[in-house]
Amino acid sequence: MPRSSRHSLRWITPLLISPLCLEVSSVHQTAHAGLFQPLIQLLQPRIERKLVSECRQLAEQALDGVADEIAPKSWLNSAVEQPCRRLARPVSECLIRETSRSGRELGVLTELLRGKVGDDAQVVIRRCLASLTGLSQSSLKQIPVQELLERLRQ
């Protein structure tokens, strides 16, 4: 292929992709609700593994000090595993569903890639807590998500 043709092809891809990038970044996010749901659904196994891990850690913290008196630690770990797995499925489904419904998919994906819980993820977490517990969203808005997580750990 002549050099001029390769040089031209190198610029075509950015020219074709840049309008799409501008469209996604400039249009209000709620207009794209559901656009990234397939991508987020691909992350469901990873989300479930993280939820199971957090659940096990919470159980270990709750049983700290008394676990040795009740049963061997290996037995307790296996006893906690199945309930944590059963809980992780509906919670991960709720997180994905509420991420899509809230129109905050791009923000949540960005926060997941950065490894942090930001404003978008906090909104989704509150919506899921309300959905799963029957509490009103307005009552959960007054409590920071970090404080809610700390209360769950106690």
| pLDDT, tens digit, 9 for 90 and up, residues 13-55 | 443 443 444 444 444 444 456 778 888 888 889 889 988 998 8
Give the percent of the chain with pLDDT over 90.
13
Give the pLDDT confidence score for residue 80 in this predicted structure.
84
Tokens matching residue 91: 């919670």
Q: Angle of helix 145-153 relative to helix 44-63, nearest 10 degrees?
A: 50
Which has more confidence, 15 or 84? Answer: 84
Residue that is written with structure tokens 């307790």 in the block: 76
Q: Angle of helix 119-133 relative to helix 145-153, nearest 10 degrees?
A: 50
Least confident range from 88-97, 107-116, 144-153: namely 144-153
Residue ranges per structural domain of the chain: 42-153
Question: Residue 95 pLDDT > 50, yes or no?
Answer: yes
How does DSSP assign 18-82, residue by residue? HHHHHHHHHS-GGGGTTTTHHHHHHTHHHHHHHHHHHHHHHHHHHHTTTHHHHS-HHHHHHHHHH
56 falls in which pLDDT band (50, 70, 90)? confident
Give the percent of the chain with pLDDT over 70.
67
pTM above 0.85, yes or no: no
